[in-house]
Structure 1
Amino acid sequence: MTLPGPLLDPAAPPFDPAAARNYRTVTREALGRGAPTRPDAGPLTAFVLTHPLAERTVDALAAGHGPYFLVHLAQEIVLHAPLRPATAVGARAEVLAARTEPKGTRLALRTCLTDRTDGTALADLTAHILLAGIRTGEPHGTLTPAAAPRQDVPATPVSRAVTIDREWIARYGEAAGDLNPVHLDPTAARAAGYPDAIAHGMALVSMAVEEIADRYADGHADRIRALGVRFARPVLPGTETVLELTPPASGDTVLFTVRSQGAAAVKGGWARLGPEKGEYR
């Protein structure tokens, strides 16, 4: 496996507020909530904008190495500036580290979002990925798991059930631009080793972001300046799924977990809130 240098995406589209609003609206359907009342994009929009370049980077790495399927292990997102209407965005991808394991090749992939007009950094995203079935290539870099922020004084946890069915998974995939067959086609999902089509991992994260924004940021998704998660198990359509939040008694970090069938599907989740007013950090 030959690791490429940094890859640029010259065809990245302008930021589209209507598409970002639709993405959030579809996400909120699973929470039983209406469309967002604020025009904020939030951190998951940065993921949607960089996802096509991340996919192309992984496809280029895997080319010529036979069949494989991708397992999303973990994700971190840091917003440096809010996304504004008609911003001409640029995307950049870089493989930070790679290691061959018994099940395949594990990667740490960083994507960056910038304003092409003035070069302002908008977001940094780091994904940990397993290319299951590909076991070739020299080690590269150092795979360092990120430590999840802790709460020294947590407040009272809250939880709520969410509704995830096949129709919603399909709508989410269309809104996010992620039409991977394992999320849409039970036959393709079984070929990849799952019992049925599975929900997008980032769909579960997006639900947590929306719930946190409504409960602790007055609906202001852009106040969620950073987040991190680990993906533990797939969520099947129609299964009991519960979102659990633990806000801080003091501080700025909300912890979250998504459970399905009684076990953690998304674990180690955290979201850092910015101030109501003020510059990004």
Structure 2
Amino acid sequence: MTLSAPPPGPPPGPVPAPASDPAAPALDAAAARRYRTVTRQALGRPEPDRADAGPLAAFVLTHPLAERTVAGLAAGHGPYSLLHLAQEIELHAPLRPGAALEARAELLGARVEAKGTRLALRTRLTGRGTGTALADLTTHVLLAGVSAVEPRGALRTAPAPRQEAPGSKVTRPVAVDREWIARYGEAAGDLNPVHLLPAAAREAGFPDVIAHGMALVAVAVEEIAERYAGGHADRIRALGARFAHPALPGPGTLLELTPPAAPPGHGDTVLFTVRSRDSTAVKGGWARLAPAAGGHR
């Protein structure tokens, strides 16, 4: 994908029908563990001692369908660059290894902006045959260079929950280098050249390869699980984040966490921010924890 100006696109078409994947990939426990292990390497933490999948597994499982859906919407509009703006995930039930799954994606909204077309896409992961909702994901992206999409729907992002009684802020360095970015891309199945090839990144307008935005969110999830959920990644039931600036390899990436105050009853949400050098890479981050006793809600 490039940032070169595309030729005029075709006239706006009808609202696209929801796309579906009736045989979405089943959760592979070994692959989910490998994903978490690679993520934790950026924190200097060992591989997880539990087999929890956590909320990022839902993103990895549904990402191929979401990517195909966005590519279909952009088809015929010339060269474009895809920018991930925000992500929200809510788990309704645990993701079990080997369970038969289905995925369905639908366009929630589209709006032409100065740099291209902004889209909001909802992807739902369900049990195959049962229809039980397992996860809902809302993805906001910008198709830079596409300006012929008919405006429709809504583009609202979920605001970060307020903390009535914030606890002490924690800051943790994150080791982001080219090798780790490549390992994460392989584990997540996201091999976009801007994350892997310096030449492709420069062509897209970046000085070097950039870290995946969801890699930084995954790092936050792992640290939150370790510090505030007893290492149980599956206690993180919902999260949201906005991607404000690319994170480059090299020193200077910091994760900031703000938990609720320690006494019970002060909240169940941890706020997070990721800073890269002098810029905020991930802002408005939040993760909601389930009670230690378990049970989705």
* TM-score interval, smaller chain: over 0.9
Show structure 2 runs of 5+ residues with no match: 1-11
TM-score by length of 2: 0.93
Match of 1:269 among 285, 293, 296: 285
Match of 1:77 among 82, 89, 96: 89
Kindly provide the CA deviation profile for residues 222-252 of structure 1, in whole angstroms up to 9, marking residues without a partner as x: 0000000000100111131000000001210
Identity %: 72
Matches within 5 A, 1:251-262: 251-262=267-278
1:11 Cα shift? 3.4
Kindly provide the CA deviation profile for residues 193-221 of structure 1, in whole angstroms up to 9, marking residues without a partner as x: 11111000000000000000000000000
Indicate conservation of the 8 Å contact 2:169/2:259, yes or no. yes
Q: Is 1:11–2:28 an aligned residue pair? A: no
Indicate conservation of the 8 Å contact 2:22/2:101, yes or no. no
Show structure 1 runs of 5+ residues with no match: none
Structure 1 SS opposite 2:273: strand
Q: Which residue is 1:54 aligned to?
A: 66
In 2, the alpha carbon distance for the partners of 1:12 and 1:185 equals 29
In 2, the alpha carbon distance for the partners of 1:72 and 1:129 equals 5
Number of equivalent positions: 281
Match of 1:138 among 127, 150, 153: 150
1:145 Cα shift? 2.6
Matches within 5 A, 1:19-38: 19-38=31-50
Kindly provide the CA deviation profile for residues 146-184 of structure 1, in whole angstroms up to 9, marking residues without a partner as x: 221010110000011110111110000000000000100
Kindly provide the CA deviation profile for residues 20-43 of structure 1, in whole angstroms up to 9, marking residues without a partner as x: 000000000000001111111000
Q: Tell me which moved more, 144-153 or 41-50.
A: 144-153
Match of 2:247 among 227, 235, 238: 235
1:191 Cα shift? 1.3
Q: Give the residue type in structure 2 aligned to 1:96.
A: L
Q: Give the residue type in structure 2 aligned to 1:28.
A: R
1:50 Cα shift? 0.4
Q: Give the residue type in structure 2 aligned to 1:276.
A: A
Q: Give the residue type in structure 2 aligned to 1:146.
A: A
Structure 2 SS opposite 1:178: coil
Q: Is 1:203–2:219 an aligned residue pair? A: no
Structure 2 SS opposite 1:11: strand
Indicate conservation of the 8 Å contact 2:93/2:133, yes or no. yes
| Structure 1 residue runs of 4 or more that deviate by more than 3 Å after TM superposition | none
In 2, the alpha carbon distance for the partners of 1:136 and 1:236 equals 32
Matches within 5 A, 1:177-256: 177-249=189-261, 250-256=266-272
1:84 Cα shift? 0.9
Q: Is 1:156–2:168 an aligned residue pair? A: yes
In 2, the alpha carbon distance for the partners of 1:111 and 1:183 equals 24
TM-score by length of 1: 0.98
In 2, the alpha carbon distance for the partners of 1:206 and 1:278 equals 21
Structure 1 SS opposite 2:93: coil
In 1, the alpha carbon distance for the partners of 2:117 and 2:46 equals 41
Q: Give the residue type in structure 1 aligned to 2:219.
A: M
In 2, the alpha carbon distance for the partners of 1:140 and 1:148 equals 25
Q: Which residue is 2:127 aligned to?
A: 115
Q: Give the residue type in structure 2 aligned to 1:241.
A: T
1:5 Cα shift? 1.0
Matches within 5 A, 1:83-98: 83-98=95-110
Q: Which residue is 2:296 aligned to?
A: 280
